[in-house]
Amino acid sequence: MSLPPTHTIEIKVRNTAAYTLNNVVATARSCSPQDLKIAAANVELKSDFGKLPGEVTDFVNFVVTDLFTLLHRSGLYNRQRAFWESIARAVKVTVHPVTQGIFRKETLPMYDVQFEDASGGTTLLAFVVQNHSQWREPKYATAYFKELLHRAQQLDKKRPVLKAIMVVAPKPFSEELFKHVEKMLGGPAIDPVTRYESVIQSPLTVHIDLIEYGVAEGGQQDEAEALAQHPASEENGQSFPDSAEQLPKPQSYDLEEIDDPSIIGDETLLHPDDMKTHKGRFIFRLIQPDIEKARKR
């Protein structure tokens, strides 16, 4: 059986004369909230999105817009600088369906999402899990995570530029996996700085961030769409619930509510339609490190 096809998402700049994510990185301490808004709006993703699950495409958009902005506004970028800067440097995302089996490959409802820099190196590796019953089994969630670490190690051996790993899973996030990662970081008693840096030391030294997601208001999947996302489920006798649990709309980092007269970038260089916030069906939330606790420091 042939391997499932991979897909590519190109990360483009709408207008090179307008403020970009790399401009934010270069002027991190002086850029304003409005500059962040302009830079996020100046990102354009190009792909055949019809062939990719909404969880994946919405997540990629979340990383290069909301997450990049949130890390800066919370100050967490100081603790995870390599991770944050890698988001700005990413020019392409390669999506690999995860499979299991030796002689007969079975496609799982999981994806390795690799953010690559201009030289083709994978600097960020995200493991995006679609909502399905097996993931809620503690032993499976931890086992899949260990396999992810092995794949990350193999990637880093080819080109040692990996800066961070992200695990993206439906709400509620696996408690067993959360505790497993916490133990890798040093346990419940770790100091705040170490927790916010969130660096694992083995099998490779990289930042690790945990993200949970749910379906936004009005974004429920219908049965036909869910079956299209899991074409093998009926064939293999597996049952995959058709939507993730709902999460509330984000309140603390709504770009539309931000304005600041101290602007470095010029928003007039972008078309008004490009300045609109493009929301997908899924809402994502960073749960490790806890962004609310980081903001209070």
Residue 272 domain-assigned (yes or no) = yes
Cα gap 295→76, rounded to integer Å: 8
Looking at every residue in the chain, the average pLDDT score rounds to 82
Residue 1 domain-assigned (yes or no) = no
Residue 202 sits in which domain range?
7-296
Peptide bond into 188 cis (omega under 30): no
Q: What residues contact 134, with CB distance under 8 A and at least 6 apart?
A: 140, 238
Considering its fold, how many domains does the chain have in total? 1
Q: How confident is the model at residue 50 (pLDDT cuts 50, 70, 90)?
A: confident
Q: How confident is the model at residue 252 (pLDDT cuts 50, 70, 90)?
A: very low
**Read out DSSP for 96-141?**
EEEEE-SSS-EEEEEEEEEEE-TTS-EEEEEEEE---GGGGSHHHH
Give pLDDT tens digits for 188-232.
888 989 999 999 988 999 999 999 999 987 655 433 334 334 444
Residue 11 domain-assigned (yes or no) = yes
Cα gap 165→27, rounded to integer Å: 25
Note the pLDDT of residue 157: 92
Query: Residue 66 carries which side chain, given as an amino acid letter?
Result: D
